[in-house]
Amino acid sequence: MSARDNILKRLRERADGPLTAPQSDFGVVTGRGWGQAERLARFERWITSVHGEVVHTSRDAWTSTLAEVLEAKGIRRLALGREHPVAAEARAALAERGVALIDADRDIEAWQREQFHDTEAGLTSTRGAIAETGSLWLWPTPDEPRLLSLVPPIHIAVLDADTIEDTFFDVIERHGWADDMPTNALLVSGPSKTADIEQTLAYGVHGPRELVVLVRNAEERV
């Protein structure tokens, strides 16, 4: 019997009965009761406080807004997926815009140098966001690998305003993370940042120096 088995055996045979999980009160991490407008305002306030950039657009015109962002920042080489609707719509809209569209759905060894040295920005979808912390959450896929948001100097993320949840707990519960999640989920709370021993923040040292969030708001009904 291994040492691990011995430890587990002793725990099961405790004189005062088996161990049971304590009652947990999750009230402190949920139940904020914010409406959609408040969630969006809180998300924007927190993510911009750490140098994230939020650009509002509509679901119908977001690709035009994307093109404007690319032009304003001088981005001519954009990495993105193929299959996700965000990537497909962006490809169609940018086909005649003079932007080189770099395929991200390749083995890293096939485009490692191109990704680390020649790619100016990466475009990703998001699964949603967290109002309480100003965080995006992404589930990487072969079509949108995690390096797409971690390596290029500029990360452009597309977020639907109605997918913002109050807290991280709400995201986990509502979307069933315990039953179905990828090998790694990404929480993005601004551009890359680190601090030295004097706790002076520096941005873009180990990842994107800029984060641009295109927030797609539903069209107002007339």
pLDDT at residue 221 greater than cutoff 60: no
- Assess if residue 19 is contained within a domain: no
3-class secondary structure, 203: strand
Which domain does 58 fall in, by range?
Answer: 34-217
Q: How far apart are CA 109 and CA 112, in angstroms?
A: 5
Kindly state the percentage of the chain with pLDDT values over 90. Answer: 67
Q: What is this structure's pTM?
A: 0.86
Mean pLDDT of 107-133: 93
- Assess if residue 16 is contained within a domain: no
> Which of 49, 51, 44 shows the shortest CA–CA distance to 204?
51
3-class secondary structure, 195: strand
Helix (H) or strand (E) holding 215: strand 210-217
Highest mean pLDDT of the ranges 30-34, 54-58, 199-203: 54-58
3-class secondary structure, 69: helix
Q: What is the CATH number of the domain that holds 186?
A: 3.40.50.10420
Number of folded domains that form the chain: 1
- Assess if residue 127 is contained within a domain: yes
